[in-house]
Structure formats: C-alpha cells, structure tokens
Structure 1
C-alpha cells in the first residue's frame, strides 16, 4: 500500500500476537507495549541522516557517525499514545515530547480536541506522531492538523494497528505523512473498532475496563 510501511519484524509480530490475546493481563499488555514500541521506533527512525564527528576512544582519535540536525519530537495522542511514547523515550531519551489531547466520541466517531502542547520550533524538527490505533483516522487527522497549523511539515505517523478505512481517510487529507504500522487489519466494525484488533488499547493498558 503506497505511503504505508508495515513493520513485519518477527519480534514485532510475536509480541503483537500476545497483545491481541484477550487473556493477556493489564501488566503484561503494558510491558509488551513498551517493548514493541522500542522495536517500532527503531524502524521509523532507520533513515535518519547522520554526520561525522571527531571523537577520542580510549585508544585513538576517529571520525564517528552521529545523528544530524535538531532532536526528534515524539507527539503522543493522549491517552493511549503514552504507552508507545514511554518505550520510545527509552530508546531516544533526548527527544522532545508533544502531547495532543484528542479523543473519539463513541456516538459520532468524531474527534474531540481538548489539549495541545509542543516545542515552539516544531517546524524545524522531524515529528513522529504515536497512537496505538489508526481506526477511523479522525483523531490522527486532527492531530496532524494541529501540528501543521503550527508549522510542522516533516511528520510521520506510527501505530500498532491500522484499518484500511482509516488509512484511506488519513491519506485523503494528509497524503504527505507516511504511516508506519505493525499490521493492517481486516476492517472496522459498526462501533469503529479495528477487527480482529486487540480491543481498546487505552483501556487494556490502564485497566479501566
């Protein structure tokens, strides 16, 4: 699918399968989400530009590669996005963080925005938006809208699961934002949940249902 990268690494797929199981505990789900987020982060950042820097090892002086440019911004769509955010920050602890408060109205399936906080210079940084699900795509579209309104233009979207309907909706509005996901599932049900999916990621992560 154009504009979508499916991260099919065996460890990603293995951990995702365990997360899908309804008997997986809240603690287990949370741990797996943190672990899988580091693997996903590795893939979504694999083409970062490098520059060379002169360093001294205990033995010699050498030219060594280092990530070029300003630090990344991880933009978490609250609240479930924080589950991915925590693991990614373990891998890239120097990254800046943005929080975007958007939730889906379960009756209309439309996004409701309630919070936004981001670094002032996001126009100069690579932004990686994180949310476990790309279901209808409405919340994700609203998050990208907010970032673009503030000048962001180098944006990627990272999720665990995506529905074909959500991908189509998202790309119809933001075709310039590449999607990274561990799986493209079958479809959305009448309640807007991804099938086969893994349920509500926020509820499973925080034990609220």
Structure 2
C-alpha cells in the first residue's frame, strides 16, 4: 500500500457506518455492525498481501495455484475498543496471530499510558495490522506503533473505523511508512478529544458501559 490514508467508500461500509453512528442503535446491533464492517475493512487492508504459488491437485488435474507467502500475519488490538474489530477480521483470516497493547488516555493530558503489552513473536517477518476503532488525537496509535517497531515490526498497517484530520496528521508525522485504512475521515476533534460528528465512545457503545 502506497497511500498514507485510504477511505473505504464501499456502499456496504458506508451504510453500516451510518447505522453505527445513530445514537439509538443498541449495544447488540453496534457490536454486530462493527464485526461486519471490520471484515469489509480487512478485505481492503489485506488487498496487497504478497503471494507465492504451490502445486496442488484439484479433482481434475494438478495446477500451480496462488497462496499467501511468509509467516502468518499479526493482528494487534489496542485495548479495549480494538477488540471489537478483531472478530470480523479473524473470520476472514482465522490463522492470524493476535497481540494486545493496553493503553488508556490520561483525561488531563490526553496522552497515552501503557499498562499491558503481549504480541506475537518474529514481528519483523510478519505483516502487522494494528486495530482501533477511532483515530482521534493519534497519540495512542503512535505510541502503539512505536512499541511494535521497538519489537522489530517493519511492515505495519493501521485499521480504524473513524479518523479525525488531527489523528491522520499526527500518524503521518510520526509514522509516514504506516498506511491508514478507515471507513470515514470526519470533521475534527472537540475540546475533549472526541471525533465530531463521530459516534461517541466506541468502547462504551460496544460493551454497554459508561
């Protein structure tokens, strides 16, 4: 992937995102829609995965057929909201390795504080897809990718549901080599660091918490 930001305009993605934005959408529906939309976004972010070929036998004859090359890709969820994107992606790529990075945003500084990190081995040989529904200030995403690069990751992509211009700019400044795939680029951040018009707090809406 060459472009830093890809907005997936597919009609099903946009339709499902609209349903998720609506404030009256139930927790169960929000969770289901997030799983469905994550599968569609995963299709886009994996479009340029490298292929090799191997000889197989169909019921009719032998053939040389394409197959994914290299080690299984790694999905890394930024806790806790990133977990909502994992289900859909794992339906598409069930053999993927999965890692977790725990970050919370300090309400005063809006800066990320790390509290957990467990990721697959040999990241340098894997495509690493980092998932978090919201790219808001970009601070958590940048911190997570800093951590993954320290652990050897070289081929990283970032998948989110919504992005704010501020977050995209922050990511491009800190990690210009990491493509971002999202369903929408919204208008701005408000004074509390929330994406506007957005859809509220994705974690709260997904898990039914406040």
TM-score, length-normalised on structure 1?
Answer: 0.98
Does 2:93 correspond to 1:92?
A: yes
Residues of 1 paired with 2:62 and 2:163: CA distance? 47
Residues of 1 paired with 2:126 and 2:145: CA distance? 14
Unaligned residue ranges in structure 2 (runs of 5+) = none
* Worse-superposed segment, 25-34 or 119-128: 119-128
2:154 matched residue in structure 1? 153
Cα distance per residue 1:15-40 (max 9 Å; x no partner): 00000000000000000000000000
2:58 matched residue in structure 1? 57
Residues of 2 paired with 1:121 and 1:12: CA distance? 33
TM-score, length-normalised on structure 2?
Answer: 0.97
1:186-205 matches, cutoff 5 A = 186-205=187-206
Runs of 4+ residues deviating >2 angstroms:
none
Residue 40 of structure 1: SS of its match in structure 2? helix
1:29 matched residue in structure 2? 30
Displacement of 1:107 in angstroms is 2.1
Residue 65 of structure 1: SS of its match in structure 2? strand
Residues of 1 paired with 2:194 and 2:59: CA distance? 55
Cα distance per residue 1:132-154 (max 9 Å; x no partner): 00000000011001001111111
1:54-133 matches, cutoff 5 A = 54-133=55-134
Residues of 2 paired with 1:45 and 1:120: CA distance? 20
Residues of 2 paired with 1:74 and 1:4: CA distance? 19
Residue 60 of structure 2: SS of its match in structure 1? coil
Displacement of 1:64 in angstroms is 1.2
1:165-204 matches, cutoff 5 A = 165-204=166-205
Residues of 2 paired with 1:204 and 1:123: CA distance? 34
Residues of 2 paired with 1:108 and 1:197: CA distance? 21
Residues of 2 paired with 1:185 and 1:106: CA distance? 22
Residues of 2 paired with 1:176 and 1:142: CA distance? 15
Cα distance per residue 1:31-89 (max 9 Å; x no partner): 00000000000000011111111111122211111111111000100000000011101
Cα distance per residue 1:90-125 (max 9 Å; x no partner): 110000011000111222111010000111200111
Cα distance per residue 1:164-200 (max 9 Å; x no partner): 0111111111111111111000000000000000000
